[in-house]
């Protein structure tokens, strides 16, 4: 049971990290776009 419950816990704990990484990448692209334009 513990191994089955640990898999969703890892995915849920990594989800906010992926969201933060994607948002920071989009922000960097937006800043570079503003600099070029």
- Per-residue pLDDT at 17: 84
- Both tokens of 26, joined, read 């989009």
- Per-residue pLDDT at 27: 97
1-37 confidence digits (pLDDT tens): 566 666 666 666 777 888 899 999 999 999 999 998 7
- Per-residue pLDDT at 31: 95
Read off the DSSP letter of residue 29.
H
Q: How far apart are CA 34 and CA 14, in angstroms?
A: 30
- Per-residue pLDDT at 15: 76
What is the four-CA torsion angle of 13, 16, 18, 21, rounded to 10 degrees?
-140
Look up the pTM and report it: 0.53
């Amino acid at each position: 049971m513990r191994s089955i419950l640990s898999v969703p816990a890892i995915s849920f704990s990594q989800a906010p990290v992926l969201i933060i990484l994607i948002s920071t990448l989009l922000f960097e692209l937006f800043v570079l776009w503003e600099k070029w334009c």
